[in-house]
Amino acid sequence: MDEEGRQRVRANASGGEVDWLRTLPEALQWHVLLNLPTKDVVKTSLVYSKWRHLWRYVPGLDLDCRNFKEYNDVVSFIDKFLSFNSESSLKKFKLRYNCVLDRQVTKETKTANLMRWINNVVDRKVQHLDVWWGEVDMPPTLYKCESLVSLKLADAILPNLESVSLPSVKVLDLVFVKFANDLAFERLISGCIVLESLTLHRNENDNVIVLNVSSKSLLSFCYNGSTKKGPHDDLVVSIDTPKLEELQLSDHLTASFIIANLSSLVEADIDVQFNFCFGKKFDPLDLPKGKMISNFLVGISNAKNMIMSPTTLEVIYDASRCEPLPLFANLSSLSVHFDDNNWEILPNFMESCPNLSYLVVESTTFSKEGASIVTGPWCRLSSLEYVEIISPFEGDAIEMKFVSYLLENSPCLKKLTLSLEKYAGKESSILRELLNIPRCSSSCQVVFI
């Protein structure tokens, strides 16, 4: 809060307008304060003298250590907070470390302090734990915390424990976490028996080769893959989540994705390349690879709404020459982004989506050289009703051919929206050419924005 804000709050509190926070019922005041960073809660002492020590009694800590210049001040502040009402439970414990402070402390001391604090909050039945404290080990007590509802860790090191029991955890967020091995990750997931949301951003050296995500309760999985340097042919991600409704995959380096069960999938955001990067291309003679990609597509084919990257579409197009594409019978909405000239791959995929009604196409640019859409005959897009082409439309040959493909093969099309690039003297010729394209749907509107 800046000085102007403090003056305004003081003015409202002393007379004139009634300060909104002070008029709230006490229970709501505590709820508001619990969801503020601790530094802002402490600042309330500048507004109301009777709230001078209020921060000590808020059942949660949200501390950004970048607000401290000395490591010892951080330790002192956290110790003081935990010493107040030490018998009461905690709703939240959130720490953000300042790596600049590393030069003031040894790793052993930093780890020991964190372990002491986590042991304390576990004893006090903390519900929400969110810790970024650098690359340090987490204490074993953390993995037996029955009260935890959400657990968020960044840069932590998780040991290989014999068992994990986190019976209340519904949200698990792991960013650049290191595991002892594959089994350590599996045990963590299996120990969260009511897990609903999993977010995983992998470390390039997280010690996991086969990542097995198996959960009967998981509803949402957001995955950002390994950035590991070197060969990647051994990296595998296996997903067995029968209740999963939302899936986001972003990974160009993992060689194999194995989908065991995604029968409840609704939303899918797919950006995978199966390690076909750095110049590597799909080999039509590699039958096991082609079969794996085909099985992956079958695994995500229940989705109703999908976002798909150009790299994924390109791999699908290459693999489809060896294995036929599965039917995406439930898919009603598709959003794709192109950054090169491979426009022919989109019609190829759309033919496997018999119930597609909404299409969004975005491109960095329609390439003027080398771009093509293979001449038909194409199957009719019998269910397509709405198309948005977000990219600036310049009226080039490839653009016109793509629009022609949509207009001539979509009998139910109601609206085609184009973002018309405004060039002096060119708009009228673009409009004339668009109006001359035959339309399969008599009710289709072409709208320019």
pLDDT more than 70, % of the chain = 82
Mean pLDDT of 343-366: 84
pLDDT given at position 215 = 98
21 domain residue, yes or no: yes
For residues 343-351, give the mean pLDDT: 81
CA 255, distance to chain mean position in Å, is 20
Distance CA 370, CA 134 (A): 48
Query: For tokens 């204490």, what's the residue?
Result: 139
For residue 12, being part of any structural domain is answered with yes
In a domain, 284, yes or no: no
Does the residue 286 lie in any domain?
no
Alpha helices (H) in 361-426, listed in sequence order? 397-408
In a domain, 13, yes or no: yes
Q: Give a yes or no: residue 40 inside a domain.
A: yes
Which token pair is 393?
């439309």
Region 89-98: mean pLDDT is 91
> How many structural domains are present in the chain?
1
User: Hey, what amino acid is at 224?
Assistant: N
Bridge partner residues of 407 (DSSP): none
Q: Lowest-confidence range among 48-62, 226-240, 379-393, 398-412?
A: 48-62
Region 401-423: what's the mean pLDDT? 87
- How is residue 351 written in tokens? 């033919």
Nearest to 383 by CA among 416, 414, 349, 356: 356
**CB distance 152 to 176 below 8 Å:** no
Cis peptide bond prior to 392, omega within 30° of 0 = no
pLDDT at 33 over 80: no
What gap in Å lies between CA 23 and CA 358, rounded to an integer?
48
312 neighbors 273 (Cβ within 8 angstroms):
yes
**Domain membership flag for residue 358:** no
Phi, psi of 64 (to 5 degrees): -105, 110
- CA–CA–CA angle 79, 95, 192 (5° rounding): 110
Taking the mean position of all CA atoms in its chain, how far away is CA 68?
A: 31
Q: Is 31 inside a domain boundary? A: yes
Domain that holds residue 43: 1-58
Cα distance between residue 438 and residue 134, in whole Å = 62
Give residue 15's pLDDT.
Answer: 40
38, two tokens: 């601790």
